[in-house]
Amino acid sequence: MKKKENPLFGALRPLDVDIDGTLSRFVENEELYEKFLRRYPDDGLLPPIMEAFENKDEEALLKTLHKMKGTSMNLGINRISEQCKDIATVIRGKEKIDLTPFIEKLKGDFNEVCETIINT
């Protein structure tokens, strides 16, 4: 008989969270993986990004994006880690581009993942 999937994992799969790949890094320990996922919304990752963006502090923005990218990547939250990487690439680029749409998309997707974690 097949084991029933953890409801949180099922809710996160459509949000481009690599449950299976990340579980292998957690040595198939679902409880530990869920524990770390549940901490994600409270890690304080978004406010420093928003503050650095509003203050037009590219150095701080790169640093905070790097932290969110790493945390997200470690938890298999690929959509967020990829967006952080893409925004950093734009910042480092020679052409100055308005980051507002990128930051707003990141904020919306981050909030969607966090709300899913909190409400599941």
Helix/strand/coil for 77: strand
Cross-strand pairs, 77: 17
Q: What is the pLDDT of residue 96?
A: 86
Question: What's the confidence (pLDDT) of residue 53?
Answer: 98
Phi, psi of 56, deg, nearest 5: 55, 40
The domain 7-119: what is its CATH number? 1.20.120.160
Mean pLDDT, each 10-residue run in order, the chain (120 residues): 86 97 96 98 97 97 98 98 97 93 98 98
DSSP assignment string, 1-67: -PPPPPHHHHHHGGGTB-HHHHHHHTTT-HHHHHHHHHHGGGS--HHHHHHHHHTT-HHHHHHHHHH
Q: What is the pTM of this model?
A: 0.93
d(CA 90, CA 98): 9
Q: Is residue 119 a contact partner of residue 15, using CB atoms and an 8 Å limit? A: no
